[in-house]
Amino acid sequence: MLDIKFIRENPEIVKENIKKKFQDAKLPLVDEVIDLDQKIRAYKQEAETLRASRNELSKQIGALMREKKIEEANAIKAIVAKNNARIAEIEPELEVLAAELNKRMLVIPNIIDSSVPVGKDDSENVEIEKFGEPVVPAYEIPYHADIIAKFNGLDKEASGRTSGNGFYYLIGDIARLHSAMLAYARDFMIDKGFTYCIPPFMIHSDVVNGVMSFAEMENMMYKIEGEDLYLIGTSEHSMIGRFKNQIVKENELPITLTSYSPCFRKEVGAHGIEERGIYRVHQFEKQEMIVLCKPEDSMEWYNKMWSYTVEFFRSMDVPVRTLECCSGDLADLKVKSCDVEAWSPRQKKYFEVGSCSTLGDAQARRLGIRSKGDNGTYLLHTLNNTVLATPRGLIAVIENNYNEDGSISIPKALQPYMGGKTIIK
């Protein structure tokens, strides 16, 4: 959500940003917002003038009454009554205009960073760097569901009966490997100096509206029927919501947190949701990192955060690359974002395992998250990044550590979490 003052003073910049995101249908919103803002300010000025007049006239009435000038006092009372009636007309009109303004402001996209490449969709994202050598072994790598089936580690038939498509049972050593990765991700981030958290897995609608756009909410989130609660799609939602309407002490910045949660997503319009594997599912688990910092520090933290995910996957012998998300692939609140993709030796291509984003002050503005420094109160910048989302991360580890004899080597970093096992047969 942009500052209304910025839109008022820079309408052409806001429009150009909308064009870069290929959302031309939103261009009229800028002029509509400016028009509504002018009306609101005019009404507020009129109301302030009327209140000031009322206060001054009320003093005159008191003086006239003391002097027994009843007729003159009554004439001024009539003026005051007229002013009050006009204020009473203005106040509900202001509420309507403010609601209309807010509705439009919420869908105008955030200003993207100048370094973001312009492109229509994710097909135009730009590769930044590769880490580790992507290897295609001489032997065949089976489909991940077939590998897991050899270990009796997956039951989607039963989950279809209990829950429907997009759910799964993980069993035995595969389930243990899944949990080992999450435990390692937790400790990896604690070792980076992040504070570990387990947040609420449901949040109110005002928090949802504070952390994401309405379109994202409709496509992602499950609502609890009859209650003002939504299941989180990522722990970032409740972690950022934790600071709603708070003034954070400047000496506590930056706030660096890493959180575990299950995540629930509709995946509306997603292709392959009914596939037999576990690549795209309605329920998964995630270790996230969240940073709240001063505006001038956000880009430094952005670069640190995605590099941690790269380091994490490389420590499990998974080659990865980073992709710069183009303008058309950025969600409306994001200033800049990059994906971390893992190498799939079976598909001979990379697939997404994490995403790092800086949102500038957009979430902080919506949720009222501020800090107070020598130069007054200011909005904080918020950032989030995936450490590990699994079972997708599990697929990457299984494929890149799959042996010709059908066994899976356990990366050294995960062995302490697997009871010292070095291989699954």
For residue range 209-258, list pLDDT tens digits in order. Answer: 999 877 777 778 999 999 999 999 999 999 999 999 999 999 999 999 99
- Do 126 and 243 lie in a common domain? yes
Q: Is 55 inside a domain boundary?
A: yes
- Do 257 and 354 lie in a common domain? yes
Does 275 score more than 70 pLDDT? no
pLDDT given at position 218: 76
Query: Kindly report the CA angle at 254 between 239 and 387, in degrees rounded to 5?
Result: 50
The SS3 assignment for 425 reads coil
Mean pLDDT, rounded, of the chain? 94
Average pLDDT for 45-62: 88
Contact (CB, 8 A) for 108 and 29: yes
- Do 16 and 147 lie in a common domain? no
Q: Is 213 inside a domain boundary?
A: yes
pLDDT given at position 310: 98
Q: Is the dihedral of CA 254, 335, 266, 125 positive or negative?
A: negative
- Domain count along the chain: 2
Average pLDDT for 72-81: 89
Query: In what helix (H) or strand (E) does residue 283 lie, and over which residues does it extend?
Result: strand 283-293
pLDDT given at position 285: 97
| pLDDT-based confidence at residue 271 (cuts at 50, 70, 90) | low
| pLDDT-based confidence at residue 103 (cuts at 50, 70, 90) | very high
pLDDT given at position 280: 87
Rounded CA separation 161/68 (Å): 87
Average pLDDT for 356-362: 97
pLDDT digits (tens, 9 = 90+) for 376-405: 999 999 999 999 999 999 999 999 999 999
Which of 47, 71, 105 lies at the terminal end of a domain, its last residue?
105
pLDDT given at position 70: 86
pLDDT given at position 320: 98
Contact (CB, 8 A) for 281 and 146: no
Which of 72, 105, 138 lies at the terminal end of a domain, its last residue?
105
Q: Is 97 inside a domain boundary?
A: yes
Nearest to 215 by CA among 106, 303, 127: 106
State how far the alpha carbon of 69 is from the alpha carbons of 64, 65, 82, in Å: 5, 6, 20
pLDDT given at position 130: 98
Average pLDDT for 318-344: 97
Q: CATH number for the domain including 88?
A: 1.10.287.40
Q: Is 178 inside a domain boundary?
A: yes
What one-letter code names the amino acid at 332?
D
Average pLDDT for 357-365: 97
- Cβ of 334: how many Cβ atoms within 10 Å? 23
Q: Is 116 inside a domain boundary?
A: no
Average pLDDT for 281-288: 96
pTM of the entire predicted model:
0.90
Q: Is 110 inside a domain boundary?
A: no
Q: Judging by beta carbons within 10 Å of its beta carbon (0-12, 13-18, 19+), is residue 106 exposed, middle or buried?
A: middle
Average pLDDT for 252-275: 81
- Do 231 and 193 lie in a common domain? yes
Does 174 score more than 70 pLDDT? yes
- Do 101 and 234 lie in a common domain? no
Does 273 score more than 60 pLDDT? no
- Do 93 and 134 lie in a common domain? no
pLDDT given at position 254: 98
- Do 149 and 181 lie in a common domain? yes
Does 373 score more than 80 pLDDT? yes
Domain of 41?
A: 4-105
- Do 355 and 412 lie in a common domain? yes
Average pLDDT for 53-61: 86
Contact (CB, 8 A) for 220 and 284: no
- Do 254 and 209 lie in a common domain? yes
Average pLDDT for 184-193: 98
Q: Is 113 inside a domain boundary?
A: no
Q: CATH number for the domain including 194?
A: 3.30.930.10
- Do 65 and 144 lie in a common domain? no
